[in-house]
Amino acid sequence: MKTRKLGNNGLEVSAIGLGCMGMSFGYGSPKDTQEMIALIRAAVDRGVTFFDTAEVYGPFINEVLVGEALAPFRDQVVIATKFGFDVGSDFGGTPGLNSRPEHIKHVAEASLKRLKVEAIDLFYQHRVDPAVPIEDVAGAVKQLIEEGKVKHFGLSEAGAQTIRRAHAVQPVTALQSEYSLWTRTPEKEIIPTLEELGIGFVPYSPLGKGFLTGKIDQSTKFDSADFRNRLPRFTPEAMKANQALVDLLGAMAANKHATPAQIALAWLLAQKPWISPIPGTTKLHRLEENLGAAEVELTADDLREIEVAASQITVEGARYPEALEALAGR
């Protein structure tokens, strides 16, 4: 697996990471712990060094899972986790935000124990908290870095001005936000800002929460606990309309002897050398498929062809319900 540098602070990670949320949270009931430990370790065996979790996934059980799975490989991997929610509030409705400095420090101490580490490699603010100046947030993480409890500071779904203000207090190593062929909002303002400041980009949901794999259509029925049931973009009508994007990926995949998922990930990797997506999965064959995207070469002509075709497709449906969408881009 090739590696990439996130930002200018020396953080090197595998070109493709592994998002671990769905193993415990969001996509139905938590999966079998031992099976997920085996999957995470299989990822390590295949060269993945970048693993993503958060206290709110579960809550807490995903960090415990990741910590146990990666304990034997601690010196070989980068573990990212997040703070910023009052765990116990309704994550599916309007979650309670809390990025007060004292809360950040409390979360860091708890995450260190669950992850079984002496320092958190990358500590993201999960969502911007309008009640707390971003300078105070950055200052709290700066103190944790000075204490040796955190190595790198990250933001998630933050707007350009927030990124600049935070970066002025404590250099931001990476931004994690949704980015894929069906969520291209970061291209207008965020990616140029990151490039200017020397900050890496970690796209989450790089496969459109599974839709861009081509394995989901308007007849798909999700588990009752699957949060996609509540997403406007996953109504049958929206999925039918958005099938055009999957068809585009499928056509390119056929030319490249690849899969739609691999083309979607290869497209992201081709955008900038400091982008490292974190597709999630609970299945070994999907893990191997996703990692295979790192070997798919898209030429300049391929990228132009995708761009021309994608520009003629209008993605239907909002990413999130209004209350959750309001947390992004502040």
Active site residues: 57
Gap between the terminal Cα atoms of the chain: 34
Are 41 and 77 in contact by the 8 Å Cβ rule? The answer is: no
Structure tokens at 9: 């602070």
Neighbouring C-beta atoms of residue 192, cutoff 10 Å: 12
User: Cα–Cα distance between 311 and 188 in angstroms, integer?
Assistant: 14
C-alpha dihedral, 183 to 184 to 190 to 195, nearest 10°: 120
- The continuous run of DSSP H or E covering 3 comes out as strand 3-6
Q: What is the DSSP letter of 153?
A: E
- Rg of the Cα atoms in the chain: 19
Cα distances (Å, whole numbers) of residue 83 to 49, 120, 296, 329: 21, 12, 34, 17
User: Cα–Cα distance between 289 and 50 in angstroms, integer?
Assistant: 17
Are 33 and 67 in contact by the 8 Å Cβ rule? The answer is: no
Strand partners, 19: 52, 280
